[in-house]
Every structure is written in C-alpha cells, then in structure tokens.
Structure 1
C-alpha cells in the first residue's frame, strides 16, 4: 500500500518502507453493467467490446492524465465521506460525530482560518524559542514528535521481523523537506533548480513564522546546511525497499550512552513507549544526528525546528502559508497546476489526523450486514477453491504444500473495519481553530500509533482506512483485508446476479489470496515467521512460470503509446495474480452455480472486464509503463481471459484467436 507523503503531520503517515514491503498492493475496482458481447468482436478484444460505452462516455479532459473505473470508485467514496462530515456538522448523532462535525466546520470556515493566521503554532514556536543550550535541543525534538511533527528523524511502529505478532518502534531516516536525499547532493540542473526553489520556500515559511527580513537568506542557508548533513548520512530510497535493510533490532538499554545528546531513552518516554527493543537500521545516521545536536549552535537548531513546524502545518493555516506550500510542493514537486477544492483539502486533513475516527463512522453508515455476510461467504468459497487447487498442484513439494495448507487454514479475513483496534477517544476540538484542531487530532493519532508498539499488537489496525476502497492481502498477518468502501456498487452489488459477483469481487479475492503463496508470500510461513518456506522445487517452478508470463505480456502494446510494450518483468507478479484470480473465481462460480447457462457465463466474464476500463494520456501512460507493477486495464482484462479456455469456449472463439490461446501458449497458474 503506497501512501501520500506529507511533509509533517504526522510520523505514522510518513512512508513506512517495511509496511509497504510486507503489505501487498491494494486493489480497488469498479464495475459497470456487463454487456453481452458479440462473439466475433469478443474474440478480438473483449476489453474494448465490453467497455465500449464506458470508454465513449469518459473521454480525457484537458489537463487530466487518467480516468478509470477505479478512480470513479475512489471518487464515490470521497463524496460519501463529504456527505458524512456535512451531516455530522449539521446534526451530530453521537460524541464522535460531534468531534468530526466540529473539525469539519472549522476547516470550512476560511475566514476564521485567515483570522487565526499562525496562532495555532504559536505555542510550538514558543517552545522552540525556549532553547538556550545544546541540551535543550533533544527535548524539543521529542515534544514535536509528540504532536505528530517528525523532525530530525522518523519514528513509527511496524512489524517486528523476528515476531510478526508484535510491533516495535523503528527509528528511521527523515527530518528533511525534500522527498529524496539525493536532491541535496546531486549536481544536475534539475536538482539545482529544485534546491534553489526550495531555498526560496524556506525563506517564505521563516518569514511567516517570525524571522526578520534581513535574516531570511542566512537562516534559510542554515536550514539547508543542516538538512544536507542529515541527507548525506541517509540511505538511497532504493535501499529502503528491502525490509531487511530497515530492520536492525537493538536493546533499549544502552541507547542513552550510545546517543548521549539525542537522549533516545527520554524521547521514547515522552512518546509513551515502554518496550525493551527498537530498530535502528542506520546507526551512522543517528550518530551524525547526535553529533549535530552537540556541535551546531542552538540558534541553528531553533531555525531548523521553526521551519519544520511551519512547513508541516502550512496546509492548515492561513492563505499565505497555504499558497507558499502549494507553490513549492504542489507545483514544483508534484507538477499540479492548482490546489484541490477547499472541501477536498479539509477532507484530506481529517483523514490524515483523524482517519480512524472517520473510518468507523463511515462503516457504520455505509457497510450493510447483508453486504458483509455475502462478501464473507464468497471469500470462504474462493478459499475452498484455492485449497482444492493447492491439493492438486504438482509444482509444490510435499513439504511446501504442508506449510501452504496450514497457512490457508490460519488465514484471517477482516471485512469492513479492523477486528482489533485502538482507542478512539479524542479531547473536544470545537469549531474555533482548524489549525489547532489539526494539532489536537494529530497528537491523539500519534499517541494511538505509539500504543501499537509492544507485545501482541501485530494484528491491530490496518495500514489502509475503511473509507478507502481497497482489497489487500496483508502478508505480515496472513489476513485478507476488505474495506467498507469496497463493498458497494458498482464493485459489489447484491442487485447483480451471482455470476457477476464471482467475476468481479470473487476474482479480486482470488488475486489477493494467491499472494499468500507467491514469490512474496514465500517469505512468511504459516506460523508468521519470516523465512523462505519454498524448496528448490517451488523456486524452479516459479521461475519457469514467471518467465512464460513475462514473455507473454512483454509482447503486448502499451495503450496510448507508440512502439512501447508492456514491461512483462516489471508486472509479472501482478499478472500471475490476475490469472490466478480469474482461475479461482471461475472454479468458485462453477461450484456454486450448477450448470450455469451461457448468459450467466457471459455475465461472469463481463464483470471482470468492467473492473478495468481506463483512459490514459501519453504522459500518464509513459509514467505508468515505467513504474507501475500492474499491466494497463486492457491487458488486465484480456490477459487472464485469453489464457482461460472456458472464455473462448463461451464466446465461440477459434483456438488460436487473440482471446483464445493455443494449448501450448496457454498459461495456467493453479492447474
């Protein structure tokens, strides 16, 4: 699950490389009504034929890089959240709704936000200004982390690779305002331009937080110098993708002597963390930070901390702050031409600082018992199909099959909201100050995240919110997560026939469950121990299979691009999961529906196709072609179906047609 990176608020919402590596990518999908395809057209391009009406009705607008069924579903979920917050503001039904309604109202009152100016961060700036000596720096760092503004470094809970049933605290790199440490050291024109514009942005924020005009340039240079020292001791982002590079458990005892000036033992006490182990994967970075606390003048640290507070809180303060933040982070770093509408900005802020509260309210309003029960039933049926497939799978040795079956037996399924979660009590916020409310909520959220650290905490909370459309396999906990927002029309609709539900939702479930036993699922066994439980038999079989899938998809043209093919190696794991998901859904459908007729079969296949329609600009397609681990929508549809002979038989496609591969070319994942 990849998330938006925010410059500040708050540490739990910074990119967590381990969590990203141990949680497989989320799949959100949307389905339009399935149309019965005419055999000749279906056999050439089932995706284009089934989705013709959708594609015609959704042309790309000027300046828009992509529209898709998935983005439509996300848009619907956002609107539902807006409706919920509006109702909570006007007529709250309980204490949590009152909190959310007040939070929402304070954000929408732009006149009040403007009058508030920088007042919400005045106590933080006063705290920073109280620094007099080097020994005052570490307590100030700890205090800012406590309110959800990570400075100097990041600290967050994540799975203990030695015991996935618990979380430990990870001390990791952070504390810089540019998204990549390389920006501070590269000498190419692009990096130099970004650094120049970044320096101007720092000056703007320092001016807004009280630095005199005649000191702006010098103090901005001090900020850049300090951040450059931090970046120089940080690791390249590519190195952080491997969870093993982020994990180095060390006993808490002795940290105070090793990092005398950072005083990490006192830092943990302030965060409310009482554990005997933490992870410090890059001790050289923290040694450098320890040195910087002692070597640099307190005034330079004060300037840096002042800047970090202003930068982190800028999106939630007056217009001058917001404009400065957007001009650099929105325009320069993200390439956006205009900020989001005010309602969307406030919604994003609430999700950032109080997302779990909103998620519970969302599920209470939009998750129905009937949808939840039917979803759980389909998951159980797909799971049974997977068990049958694993029993007859010749690519697994007896030893690996024993682990796989136990892993399937131990699989947890959580639908709607997490089964275990943390406290939702937040002190009253009122409607007076949006910036103040952000700090109140962020402090609460940070505290609740810190409470995840310790024994028997591994299964608490998800790394995705219930109000976000998502279906994911959590490898660290061997659980399937289905959010409340996923179980709604058009992706999940009890008004559709059973065939449609199996072809859409059932196939997505099969896709995610297959990840428990693939090239990444091999890293965690049935006892939630991090080890490779595959033997040479599975490894050889996987490589052979993956090479065939990669070669097949590498021959496919990338939509919206001339002369560019799908990167089969880059997308191979998700392509295998798509094929496996379709196989499992088809088996489940045929077990649940006795002798289904042609119309039901066509509804099944049409449901799958209607998950993936998308329109891409050349720029968006170029970006996706080089970075996305998923094939474009056309091939997420046609690729699995052309390998499933039942599809070709249903539509009367000749063997060897585009949508019905010859037996020697056909790929089966779960024979």
Structure 2
C-alpha cells in the first residue's frame, strides 16, 4: 500500500541586507563605474553554459525549494503520457486490461462517488477483525490482510536468492509499524517525544474513522502504540539493511511452521499461495516476539492494532476525512509537503502502486514504436562491444580480470521497453463505484502475481522498475542492462535527431551503466553470478588511483549557486567515474558512424551530452543536494568528463590552457 517516505529536511535560509550610511563627502565622491557583465560562455570556457544557453534562459525554478531539469521534464512528460492513456482507456478502452484501468481511473477521479463510498470498501476487512475472539483468530487475520496487499505485523515478499541469482525466495522481514523508523518508538529526546505525540493524535483520528467509539478511543490508541513499540524494540536499525547479505538467512519453511506455531506460519504461507520450502528470515528475534505477543496480549489489543493498520494503509484511497488525516500527518509533518498533490496525480500513484504492470503493458504498446526499440538495442549493443574492446586493450586491468570481464560482457543481456515476462491479467471486474474497492482488487492481484515468483527460477523475467517510469540501469544480479519504455524519448533518445545526438545522449547513458558491470561494484559478482571479487589487488589499486585523481578534480569545482561550497569529490566519485566511462564508450561507438568524421557531428555529440544535464536549482535544493547527492551537479556532470577528452578539445579547438581541456599528460582515462 502507501510507501512511507523519509522525513523531509527543512532548510531555512535567512537573507540579510546591510546599508551603510553616507559620510559627509559622499555626494562629492565619484560614482562607482557599473560592473561589466560577465562574458558569455564559450565552448572552451564553460561548455555546459554554452551548450545549454537557450534552455537556461527559458527555464527557471518555480518554487522556493524546487528544481527543474531536462530529465525532470522528461519524467513529467511520462506522467502526462500515462494520464492521457488512462483518459483514453476510460472513454474508449481497447481490450480487457484497458477496461480495468479505465474503470480504476474513473473511480478515483470521481470525487463525489469517493465521498459517497466513504469507508465502505474496508468494511469487510474491519468486520473480520471485529470477529476475532481468541488468540488463534489473530494469525488468520494477519494472513488475510497480507493477501490483499496490507502487510501487518511484518513484511513478506519475493526477492533474489543470494545463493542462486536466477531464483526468487520469500523474505520475512520487519515491518508492521505506522512510522518509518523503529527508533522513533525507542528514543527519548524531546523532538521524538513531540513526534510521537502527533502520531498518537493521528492514530486516534484513524481509529475514530474506522468505527472506534469515543469511550474506547484513548485506550485503543495506547494499545496500538504499545504493540508497535514492542515490535520496534525487536526490530533492527535501518542501517542494518545497507548490506543485503546481512539480511539473508535461508531456512526451511517447515521449520518456521514448527518454531512459530502461535503465528501459524505454515498456514500463512499457504494463504499467500507459497509452497516453496526455503524462505529467508534474518531477524528471528522479531518473529519470536510476535509469536509471543499473539499468545500474551489481549485479542482486543490486536484488534485495535489491525483496525488502525487497515485505516492507515487505505486512508489515501478513501473519503476526504481519511485523506485529510493521512496528509496532515504523513504529508505535512513527515514529508514536509505544503499541499496535497492534484487529485489526478494521487490516483495515478495509486494505480502504479496496485496495478503498475498492467499500466506498463499498455504504456509500452502506445508509446514505444518498434523502430525506437530497435534503435535503442542497436546502440546499446555497440556500446557493449566498445567496452569489451577497450577492456581488452586497456593497460590497467590484469589479464585475469580482463578474462572475467570479457565473460561478463559476452553474457550481458540488453532488455529494452518491458520485462520478458508473462502475467495473468485475470482480475475481478472493478467497475466505477468504489475507488477503495478497486484498490483492494488491484492490490490483491499484484500480491498474487508477486507470490507466484517465489521458488521459481525466473528472476530474469522481472524488473524492479515499471516500463512507464523513466529508468536506465545495470542490474548486477542478472548481469543485464534495463531500459524502460519511458526512457526512450527526448532528451535521452530522440528519433528525430541525428546519430551524433543519439550517441551523445542515449549512448553515453548506456556507457555509464554498462561500466558498472566491470567497475568497483561489478567486480563483486563474477560471470557465473557468484558473489566473489574477481579483481586482483593490483586492479583495486589502479582503480583507486584513478578514482582519487578524479575526486581531486571535482573537489576543485564550485557548487553552482552556493557561494564558497565545493563539490564533494569523494561523495560523487563512483558516479563521476561512470560519467567519464560513459562519454568515452559512447564516443568509441559513435566513431563507427560516418557523422563522426565531420566537425559538425563531433560537436553535436558533445552538445547532446551536455544537454542531458541542464538544470536549475533553488538555493535550498542546491544545499540539500550538495550534502546528500551521489551525483555531481549538472554543470560538472557535463563539463567534468570532457576536460579529459582529447576528442572534445579537437572538436571545439580548445587548447590545454582553457577551462575545458586539461594538458594531455594530466588527462584521466578509464577505457580509451
């Protein structure tokens, strides 16, 4: 259901102006000459500003803490495309899937019907909870809520088996809390106490809306927070999830059924449709605690907790009192949002949450022409070949590492548009009368399809991103490049542009991602899909030497719009290395095209690269990004790699004495 976002960081900037009094002779003094305007950027002084001059003039930040960028505009376009598709599906659906999506969309946009429906859609769920009488009734209710996409008490879902990357197993993990961090329940500082007081108010609002009587409200709210606190006390810190291996603990499912009898784990798996005998449970202490709580806490306390969890999960999809309560706490307080999103955006988010693969299927069919698909695959293959050739003739990688890298690249798959998988689109008819009801129908369908993956050797048939979401990424577990349908449009792959532009944009992004197959992260998984470092100590040292030098280069760059702040070269090191690799590899692939022999073609290639990173940040956004982003700001993503490219200097006739070209002996290279 709704995903909890991290707490928003509020940045308040005070601007002060000082005025100095004129002295007695001020009127006699000569006026200071007006400052001369800064000279216009040239290709050799600041290529980013030169290449993006028109875009930078036409685009300004629209809010005090916002940003605007070329890639952000593409993401906005993808949202509008989804909206247009759903409008068509609502009025003239083509096929069963579009009929389902059109009804789902219409039911969410019809606010009068949403208000009239109130909380009727969750009444059956609440009725089942109200029927709990004894401890043995609690686990079946937990299992039933998981089945409709409302995980309570804990989380359970499929993921890669770290011992066999082509396989999925079920992971039992911590969850069941109304707040995003278990430490909120255990810290005693004043700020946390204040947050918990606000959370208690939110719990009361949701309980009231789900039918709790006033006389019972205070006691039930305390029961909810007490149970969640007990769960939090047995949960791990969020930092423990940084290493997937620390949370991988395969165990026989039959053993869990015997060990956690009061939680009825065997029956839980059956209800989810899971028959596989191996699951992962990395925090048995939590489940031992839950097993104990089922038996020792009064059923009435569990009933209050489950009622709240249902209302909390479904609040964004119900009537206005639910939505207002959820936004006041999660939106305004936790996420720092000033106002709710437009209604259409909330409904679209809901559809992507519950029926995202359905929408992705239709999106690709409408917005990804076969010619674009073929062109993307062809360029990606050329870049992969360029990387293989450059690895072979490179000087810093050992012979052993080169052999393993070649195996990985030979086996590396390129997947464009949509994942290679078949889903069962058999879904209960939705209709247009209940948005909340449709949300539960779609969530039940998606949960069913997710559970089918457990125990299957079909991990390569699934993506962790939807086709309608712009994404281009290297999947280290499956050794593949993933390019979504939404990514294959301007400015990434514009079919109306020439080859030079397409290589400079899409080709360079592909090179960036493919470099991860054989870089400091890619070396952790070998060609057979085994977690194992295949670099020698000398390879590590050679990579680190280049990384350190590139970090030092970026350390000298001023962060745009932040006086006195520099780019953090260490924080952005890995992505800067990949940007350098991306430009090198894309240019190598482009060099096989006739346009690469012309000055015009060479210049178009580099101008296209710079155009990807056009952005305008407010002061507040720039401050936050400088502290947290692992990418350099757009100006230096564009310029940073180019100062190391002899071909760029030749294309624009930039000498080594200019800002945009290092002396040949100082230039850094990865794969050229």
Same fold? TM cut 0.5: yes
* 1:542 alignment partner in structure 2: 543
The answer to whether the Cα contact below 8 Å between 1:40 and 1:653 also exists between their aligned partners in 2 is no
Moved more, 647-656 or 498-507: 647-656
* 2:350 alignment partner in structure 1: 349
The answer to whether the Cα contact below 8 Å between 2:499 and 2:595 also exists between their aligned partners in 1 is no
- 1:40-82 CA distances to partner (integer Å, 9 max, x unpaired)? 7111211111112211211112345111111100110000000
The answer to whether the Cα contact below 8 Å between 1:330 and 1:336 also exists between their aligned partners in 2 is yes
Cα pair distance change 1:171/1:374, threshold 3 Å: same
Distance 2:2 2:141 in 1: 23
The answer to whether the Cα contact below 8 Å between 1:421 and 1:461 also exists between their aligned partners in 2 is no
Q: Which runs of 5+ in 2 are unaligned?
A: 7-38
Moved more, 516-525 or 102-111: 516-525
What are the equivalent positions in structure 2 for 1:626-637 lying under 5 Å apart?
626-637=627-638
- 1:262-319 CA distances to partner (integer Å, 9 max, x unpaired)? 1212111110011111111111111111111111111111100100000000000000
Moved more, 645-654 or 335-344: 645-654
Distance 2:447 2:64 in 1: 37
For 1:657, what is the secondary structure of its paired residue? coil
Distance 2:363 2:442 in 1: 18
For 2:165, what is the secondary structure of its paired residue? strand
* 2:206 alignment partner in structure 1: 205
* 2:440 alignment partner in structure 1: 439
* 2:21 alignment partner in structure 1: none
For 2:42, what is the secondary structure of its paired residue? helix
What are the equivalent positions in structure 2 for 1:22-33 lying under 5 Å apart?
none
The yes-or-no answer on 1:612 pairing with 2:613 is: yes
The answer to whether the Cα contact below 8 Å between 2:381 and 2:414 also exists between their aligned partners in 1 is no
Give the C-alpha shift of residue 663 in structure 1.
2.7
* 1:481 alignment partner in structure 2: 482
Segments ≥4 residues shifted beyond 3 Å: none
- 1:208-235 CA distances to partner (integer Å, 9 max, x unpaired)? 0001122222211111111111112111
What are the equivalent positions in structure 2 for 1:162-311 lying under 5 Å apart?
162-311=163-312
Give the C-alpha shift of residue 490 in structure 1.
3.0
- 1:399-430 CA distances to partner (integer Å, 9 max, x unpaired)? 22111111111111111101224322222111
The answer to whether the Cα contact below 8 Å between 2:168 and 2:455 also exists between their aligned partners in 1 is yes
The yes-or-no answer on 1:326 pairing with 2:323 is: no
| RMSD of equivalent CA atoms | 1.6
When Rg is computed on C-alpha atoms for both structures, the one with the higher figure is 2
For 1:610, what is the secondary structure of its paired residue? helix
The answer to whether the Cα contact below 8 Å between 1:422 and 1:460 also exists between their aligned partners in 2 is no
* 1:670 alignment partner in structure 2: 671
TM-score by length of 1: 0.93
Distance 1:188 1:621 in 2: 30
The answer to whether the Cα contact below 8 Å between 1:316 and 1:434 also exists between their aligned partners in 2 is yes
TM-score by length of 2: 0.93
Distance 1:349 1:275 in 2: 30
* 1:69 alignment partner in structure 2: 70
Distance 2:278 2:338 in 1: 45
Distance 1:352 1:251 in 2: 31
Distance 1:660 1:331 in 2: 47
The answer to whether the Cα contact below 8 Å between 1:422 and 1:461 also exists between their aligned partners in 2 is no
Cα pair distance change 1:102/1:585, threshold 3 Å: same
- 1:367-399 CA distances to partner (integer Å, 9 max, x unpaired)? 101101111110111111111101012222222
Give the C-alpha shift of residue 651 in structure 1.
1.3
For 1:254, what is the secondary structure of its paired residue? helix
The answer to whether the Cα contact below 8 Å between 2:387 and 2:585 also exists between their aligned partners in 1 is yes
Distance 1:495 1:661 in 2: 34
* 1:116 alignment partner in structure 2: 117
- 1:322-365 CA distances to partner (integer Å, 9 max, x unpaired)? 01001111000000011111111111100000000000000000
The answer to whether the Cα contact below 8 Å between 2:63 and 2:618 also exists between their aligned partners in 1 is no
What are the equivalent positions in structure 2 for 1:364-443 lying under 5 Å apart?
364-443=365-444
Give the C-alpha shift of residue 106 in structure 1.
0.6
The yes-or-no answer on 1:505 pairing with 2:502 is: no
For 1:42, what is the secondary structure of its paired residue? coil
For 1:399, what is the secondary structure of its paired residue? helix
Distance 1:625 1:92 in 2: 46
Distance 2:423 2:210 in 1: 35
* 2:581 alignment partner in structure 1: 580
Distance 2:147 2:168 in 1: 19
* 1:6 alignment partner in structure 2: 3
The answer to whether the Cα contact below 8 Å between 1:362 and 1:466 also exists between their aligned partners in 2 is yes
Cα pair distance change 1:159/1:115, threshold 3 Å: same
Distance 2:633 2:427 in 1: 43
Distance 1:132 1:492 in 2: 60
The yes-or-no answer on 1:130 pairing with 2:131 is: yes
Cα pair distance change 1:121/1:619, threshold 3 Å: same
Larger RCO of the pair (alpha carbons < 8 Å, separation 6+): 1
Distance 1:62 1:474 in 2: 35
* 2:655 alignment partner in structure 1: 654
Q: Which runs of 5+ in 1 are unaligned?
A: 8-13, 16-37
